[in-house]
Amino acid sequence: MVRTRLAPSPTGEDLHIGNLYTALINWVFAKQNNGKFIVRIEDTDRKRLIEGAEERILKTLKEFGLEYDEGPDVGGPYGPYRQSERLEIYKKHALELVEKGYAYFCFCSPERLQKIRKEQQKKGIIPPKYDRYCLKRYSKQEALEKFEKGEKAVIRLKIPEKSEISFVDEIRGKITFKSDLIDDQVLLKSDGFPTYHLAVVVDDYLMKITHVIRAEEWISSTPKHVLLYTAFGWELPKFIHLPILRNPDKSKLSKRKNPVWASWYLKEGFLPEAILNYLALMGWSHPEGKEKFSIEELVKIFDIKRIKTVGPVFDVQKLEWLNGEYLREAKSEKLKAKILEYYKKYHDLDLPEELVEKTIPLIRERVKKLSDYMFYCKFFFERPKKYQMDLSPFKDLIEKMKSALEKIPEHEWKAEKIGEVMVKLYESLPEEVKNNVSRSKFFMVLRVAITGQKITPPLNESMEILGREECIERLENVKFQMTNDKSMTKSK
C-alpha cells in the first residue's frame, strides 16, 4: 500500500505555503493510489519550538480539506506521531548503528569543534568536517563505557571514505554524491534528542512510508539517509523532491517578500479550493491545458512524474485571478454562504442574509477575494461617515438630486427609473452648471453622497437595494453635514 507523509516542524507561526504545496502532492498521490496520508510532527528542535504552532498547523490542514489518515490528534497503528514522544526509539537505533560500526560516540566540546572548523577554513578546506578525533582516540567499548557513565556525548554517522552514494529521484533521475564532501553527521544529540536525519529515516521506515515526497532542499541530505537505510538493512523508499516555490523575481519564497503562512490566505478571503488548484499548477500542468479544476479531477489525472523541476513562480496576483474565477462561477446561494461564513469567522460580523443576497448580482464580477465584498459593499450596512471627495461645492446640486428623487413614488423605486430621473435632472441643469459639472462628475457626486465611495457596484441598482427613504435620508445627511461641519474633506 502507498503511504505518504507530511512532517512539519512547529517552529513557525503556522503551516508554510510551501509545506501546504508538499502536503497537497502527498495527499493527492496517496488518494489516487488508494493509500494513506500521514502527518508526523517533527518537534525535536526544542529551541525553536513555538507554543501552539502544532495545533495551528493541524487546523490549517483540515481547513484546506487535506484530512490525514494518521496523525498526532487522530492516532494510528504506528504512533506516537510526535518525535518528542519517540526518543527511546531513536536512542535504540542510534546505539544499534554504533554496535554495527556505522556510527560512533563523539565527546568533543563545542569549543573544540569551533576551533577545528576555523582551522580548516583558514586552510581552505571546504566544506569543513569533523576530524574524527574521538573515533581515533577511543575504542568502541571505551566510548560506550564513558557514555554509560553519563559523560555527555553525541553519536555521529561514520561516512565511508572515497566512495559514491547514489539514489534515484522519481522525477529527476539518478543523483550521485561523493562521500568525501559529506561530514560525519550528528545523529543523536547530547540531550537525547535526534537530529532530523536519524529521526526521519527511523520514522519513515517504522511508519512504512513508501514514497518520501518533500522539497528539493532535502536532496543534499538524502545521501546520509541512503547510508542509514543501508546500515540498518532496510529497503529504500521512493524519493521525490519537489521544486521550491519562488517569488516572481525568482527568489526563494520568504515572508520578507510575500505572505508565507497558509492561514493568511484564508483570512484574506481566498478559497481553499482555489489555493489548492493554484498550488497544483506549480511545476505541473493539466493534460488539457486547464487552469481551473477541482481537487477530485486532480486526483484522477495527476501524474507526479510530469512535475518539472524548475522552481515555479508563486504569484499572488495570478492566485487572485483564479480565486475570482471561482467566485464568479459559484452559484448565488453558495457565494452568499461563503461571504456570510467568511465575515463571521474572520471579522465576527453577522451580516444580514437577505441584504447580502440582494447585493451578490452587483459584485459577482468585481470581487477577487471574499474580503473584497465589504470594500465594495460596506455602505449597504452603514451610512458613510467620510466621503472620498469634497462635496461642499455641490450643496445646491445635491439638494436638486434629493428633490428629484423625492418625486419618485415608492412603488416605482427601481434602478431604471432612478437612472431616468437623474439623467433628466442633469439635462435640465443650466448650461453654465453643465460646463463645470460633466455628466460623469454629476453621477460621481451622487455616488459619493450616497455611498461615501468613488468605487462601488452599479449606482442605480445599489440605490434600489438601499431603498427610497434611505437614499433621501443620506442626501439629507450630506446636506446636514455641510451646514454643520465646515471641514468635510476627502477621507484619507
Show which residues are catalytic: 255
The DSSP element (H or E) to which 214 belongs, if any, is strand 211-215
**Is residue 426 a contact partner of residue 385, using CB atoms and an 8 Å limit?**
no
Q: How far apart are CA 376 and CA 380, in angstroms?
A: 9
Phi, psi of 66 (to 5 degrees): -90, 70
- 437 class by beta-carbon count within 10 Å (0-12 exposed, 13-18 middle, 19+ buried): middle
DSSP state of 186: E
Residues in the chain, how many? Answer: 492
211-215/154-157 β-pairing: unpaired
Instruction: Give the integer Cα–Cα distance in Å for 159 and 181.
Output: 10
* Distance separating alpha carbons of residues 122 and 119, to the nearest angstrom: 5
Q: From residue 340, give the alpha-carbon distance in Å to each of 251, 267, 345.
A: 37, 14, 9
> Judging by DSSP bridges, how do beta strands 173-178 and 164-169 pair with one another?
antiparallel
Packing angle, helices 316-329 and 272-280, rounded to 10: 130
Sheet of strand 164-169, all strands in order from the earlier edge strand to the far edge = 173-178, 164-169, 238-242, 211-215
Do 204 and 212 touch, CB atoms closer than 8 A?
yes
- Spatial contact of 39 and 70, defined as CB atoms under 8 Å apart: yes
Partners of 252 in the β-ladder: 246
Rounded-to-integer distance, Cα 89 and Cα 55, Å: 24
Q: How far apart are CA 30 and CA 34, in angstroms?
A: 6
User: CA angle, 443 as apex, 440 and 447 as ends, to 5°?
Assistant: 130
Residue 35: all three cell numbers together: 493509500
By the 10 Å C-beta count (0-12 exposed, 13-18 middle, 19+ buried), 173 is classed as exposed
